[in-house]
Amino acid sequence: MTNLWILLGLASAFLLATGDALTKRALSVHNVYLIAWLRLIFSLPVLVALLFFIPVPHLDNTFYRTVLTALPLEIAAFILYTKALKASPLSLSLPFLSLTPVFLIIVPYLVLGESISLPGAFGVLCIAAGGYMLNIRKFSEGILAPFTAIKKEKGAIMMIAVAFLYSFTSTLGKRAIEHSSPVFFGIFYYIMLFVLFTPVALFKSRGHFNKGAIRATIAPGMLDSFMNLTHMTAMSLTRVAYMISVKRLSLLIGVFYGYLFFKESGIKERFMGTLLMLAGFIIIVLYH
């Protein structure tokens, strides 16, 4: 199926947004490092169990070098993302995550020699612009409100760094997949991420362990395991920029969850952003 990656990308976006929605309430009452770490823990049982049912591919030096290069960047992005959510309002930090697809027009070309079509690039930019607009709380504050907040909002600066780092980790992930297999890499990478993040999480969350945090992260963690598998498989089937652009539709789903479960306002104001993201998605599907 030629466009299987589209279905997998949409599934990945849905699983990510759902996991984030389930985690949102927990972050308001529990330590952010503890929640992030527990979410990783509960994603592992499904992934580790799969190791007994999939073949282990031949792993060359390129695979190991790529993983070792990507992991420090992934952990840095993971920590910065957590700090950005805590340091600034979502409406002034999260829009910058939409910059990842823009960076992915350039980074995969430099690292993998992977280029995209002109219509595809336009679709990527539409999704990025739409994702940015989705998270502007009120247009009356100005469409450039998040940019004007950079000077006073540390979270905005950190989220720009996260978007940039993700463009490299996604690209390096594609290379690692090419030298292994999508499912194996997804499992191996998550296990290594957990191992390396554990000392940081234990240090930052000491004294905060409780049963409530554990209960709150079981479902998000399990959703993350399937998100990981759909993400990696989709990544192996298409250009990195296209896959991540489709996955950024999770921002759109997140807006819907915000309204449905947390009674967040501004749905009508985000209508233009929704249209832009859907237009970009259609362009990528038709002309990628």
pLDDT digits (tens, 9 = 90+) for 70-91: 999 999 998 888 777 767 665 5
- Burial (Cβ within 10 Å: 0-12, 13-18, ≥19) of residue 244: buried
- Per-residue confidence (pLDDT) for residue 277, from 0 to 100: 77
- Per-residue confidence (pLDDT) for residue 146, from 0 to 100: 58
Identify which has the larger pLDDT, 270 or 60. 60
Task: Read off the pLDDT of each residue in 11-36 and give the average, rounded to a whole number.
Answer: 86
- Per-residue confidence (pLDDT) for residue 145, from 0 to 100: 62
Measured distance CA(155)–CA(52) in Å, rounded: 41
DSSP string for 101-153: HHHTTTHHHHHH-----HHHHHHHHHHHHHHHHHT-S-GGG-TTHHHHTTTT-
Provide the pLDDT confidence category of residue 37 given band limits of 50, 70 and 90.
Answer: very high
List, for residues 232-257, the tens digit of each pLDDT value.
Answer: 999 999 888 889 888 888 877 877 77
Q: In this structure, how many other beta carbons lie within 10 angstroms of the beta carbon of residue 32?
A: 21
Q: What average pLDDT does the chain have?
A: 84
List, for residues 192-240, the tens digit of each pLDDT value.
Answer: 999 999 999 999 888 888 889 999 999 999 999 999 999 999 999 988 8
- Per-residue confidence (pLDDT) for residue 193, from 0 to 100: 95
Of 80-84, 117-121, 133-137, highest mean pLDDT: 117-121
Residue 14 has pLDDT above 80, yes or no: yes
- Per-residue confidence (pLDDT) for residue 150, from 0 to 100: 62
% of the chain residues with pLDDT over 70: 85
- Per-residue confidence (pLDDT) for residue 196, from 0 to 100: 94
Cβ pair 33, 205 in contact under 8 A = yes
Measured distance CA(96)–CA(158) in Å, rounded: 9
Measured distance CA(45)–CA(219) in Å, rounded: 12
Can you give the C-alpha Rg of the chain in angstroms?
18
Nearest to 172 by CA among 232, 254, 91: 232
